[in-house]
Amino acid sequence: MTFHMTVDKVGRVVLPKPLRDHVRLNPGDTLEAEVSGDQISLRLVREPAPLRREHGVWVYRAGTPASVDIGDLLGRVREERIRDLME
């Protein structure tokens, strides 16, 4: 995958959407830059926490299987919310 980007007058570069989608880059994510000669390499620095809140929804993004039964967890959360609403 190759993209050409232009640096603006204050030094910013916009990463094309297909590239951001490919590496699952989201607003607020951190990139690490490494320079070797005339090459610049960017590496996505992932959060250590696999669970993060996106648009008001908890999202699991670690790339590894969950250590809990997600269905069971969701069931318990739903039951708690129903109990809270009934009170």
**How far is residue 85's CA from residue 81's CA, in Å, rounded to a whole number?**
6
Q: Which residues of the chain have pLDDT under 70?
A: 47-49, 62-66
Residues 31 and 69 in one domain: no
Domain CATH number, residue 3:
2.10.260.10
Residues 60 and 34 in one domain: no
Containing structural domain, residue 70: 51-86
Residues 42 and 57 in one domain: no
pLDDT at site 73? 87
Residues 71 and 32 in one domain: no
pLDDT at site 70? 82
pTM: predicted TM-score of the whole model, two decimal places: 0.49
Beta bridge partners of 50: none
> What ranges in the chain are assigned the alpha helix state H?
17-22, 70-86
Q: What total of structural domains would you count in the chain?
A: 2
